[in-house]
Chain A
Amino acid sequence: MSIAAKANALWEYANPKKFLATTERMLPFFWVASAICLVVGLVWGFFFTPDDYKQGSTVKIIYLHVPSALMAINCWLMMLATSLVWLVRRHHVSALAARAAAPIGIVMTLIALVTGAIWGQPMWGTWWEWDPRLTSFLILFLFYLGYMALWEAIEDPDTAADLTSVLCLVGSVFALLSRYAVNFWNQGLHQGASVMRAAAVTGTDTEEKVSNIFFYPLLMCIVGFILLFIALVFYRTGTEIRARRIKALLARERVNA
């Protein structure tokens, strides 16, 4: 099959029935795999890794903080991709997928902010600092709130999808800023990337990186969070598709009455 044909086959999933049938077959795998990875990663990290020589036992917070922060940013990028598909191709499933992902993203952002604050108190001596990365993350949280509020505030679903898609484009600046703020401003308390950095993974630079003792369980947790995110997006998009069908059926019923 050529690349063009494969790309065209992908659009078949814009059909709600096809999307529901396919995701319902895949969902059990994603639920089970995410549960296994999360339990193994968290138990491994919490019970079977040593304390850090500088941070003590607070290093164990990394198994929740890093994966949730990663998903907070990537969830918005996924919403950006599906919003663009909606704006360009007008596929309802893509707009509904973006809507379904937002509450997941806001919870991930909240976990990253809360665990960061709890860790920061004993390590930095403060719950909060107006540091570039922390501030851009807080703005990302507010963008998630605004995005969800906009969906609820507009009656017509197509208009809501249009406006939320535009908001998503604007918010993407902060999603990227929250990832690269440390590099742009090179100041503040938050350290640079020490896990998901190409040179840290390949060991080709001398910058500080996470030791393998912590890295492997962390990797397991990251995989678990990604699988959980996919499971939740599939499940919640299915819910949004059904909610939209209810609205359409009720509208048809009113017309026929």
Chain B
Amino acid sequence: MMPDLGKYADTVLSAYAASLLLLVALVAFSIWRGRKVRAEMEKVEQRVSRHG
């Protein structure tokens, strides 16, 4: 299944590993922060509406 990358196997695989790692980290961090901020906003909104 794995294509024969020849003498450049390390080059190609390290480029893919670094890029995919950066992309996954970007998406994961964006979603993590998005959820955190959304939860915090709901908490603050509830507190503000309770106290008028």
When distances are taken between beta carbons in the complex, the residues of chain A under 8 Å from B15 are 61, 64-65, 114-115, 118-119
Query: Which among A103-111, A142-150, A206-214 touches the partner chain?
Result: A103-111
Q: Mark B28-47, 1 if CB is under 8 A from A, else 0.
A: 00110110011011001101
What residue of chain A has the Cβ atom nearest to residue B34's Cβ?
A239
A65 CB to closest chain B CB (Å) equals 8
A interface secondary structure, majority: helix
A232 within 8 A of B: yes
Tier of interface size on chain A:
35 or more
Q: How far is it, in angstroms, between the C-alpha of A89 and the C-alpha of B13 when the chains are bound?
A: 47
Q: How far is it, in angstroms, between the C-alpha of A243 and the C-alpha of B48 when the chains are bound?
A: 15
Interface size on B, residues (CB 8 A): 34
B34 CB to closest chain A CB (Å) equals 4
When distances are taken between beta carbons in the complex, the residues of chain A under 8 Å from B18 are 111, 114-115, 118
A51 within 8 A of B: yes
Partner of B8, one of A57, A107, A235, A252: A57
Q: Mark A240-257, 1 if CB is under 8 A from B, else 0.
A: 001101100110110010
Interface of B toward A, CB cutoff 8 Å? 1, 3-9, 11-12, 14-16, 18-19, 22-23, 25-27, 30-31, 33-34, 37-38, 40-41, 44-45, 47-48, 51-52
Closest 6 CB pairs of A and B: A57-B5, A239-B34, A64-B19, A118-B15, A242-B41, A61-B15
List 18 extra interface pairs beyond A118-B11, A242-B37, A253-B48, CB under 8 A.
Answer: A57-B3, A57-B6, A58-B8, A60-B5, A64-B16, A68-B19, A107-B23, A111-B19, A122-B8, A232-B26, A235-B30, A235-B31, A236-B34, A238-B34, A239-B30, A243-B41, A249-B44, A256-B51
